[in-house]
């Protein structure tokens, strides 16, 4: 499955009302670790079509970042049934992403 851009406008539909697990990647274009994580998130999205993968640019969506108390990026959050079930901060390998959604 392809990554989707999450904004204030589509957050409720794409994340809170999602029927499957959602992995959110909070990132910014100037963030070095975010750039390193991006291809891993893309690989994860390809390997796990059953998981919706959303990307939130914290510079463009500051309200979503504040709502989720994102203090450091990259931050990853997993939503299941409209609620956060897991989260992590910092660079993660593909194995850590897979463990995060379990």
Active site residue 34: yes
CA–CA gap between residue 26 and residue 17 (Å, rounded): 19
CA–CA gap between residue 9 and residue 75 (Å, rounded): 20
Q: Which of 6, 34, 53, 77 is catalytic?
A: 34
Residue 14 in tokens: 């794409």
Name the E strands within 28-100: 52-57, 75-80, 83-89
CA–CA gap between residue 64 and residue 69 (Å, rounded): 9
- Whether residue 32 contacts residue 62, with contact meaning beta carbons closer than 8 Å, is answered with no
Q: Which of 18, 28, 31, 100 is catalytic?
A: 31
Active site residues: 31, 34
């Amino acid at each position: 499955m392809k990554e989707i851009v999450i904004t204030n406008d589509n957050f409720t539909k794409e994340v809170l009302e999602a029927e499957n697990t959602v992995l959110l990647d909070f990132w910014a274009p100037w963030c070095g670790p975010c750039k390193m994580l991006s291809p891993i998130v893309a690989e994860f999205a390809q390997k796990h079509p059953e998981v919706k993968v959303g990307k939130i640019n914290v510079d463009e969506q500051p309200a979503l970042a504040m709502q989720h108390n994102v203090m450091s990026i990259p931050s990853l959050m997993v939503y299941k049934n409209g609620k956060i079930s897991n989260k992590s901060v910092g660079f993660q390998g593909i194995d850590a992403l897979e463990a995060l959604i379990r």
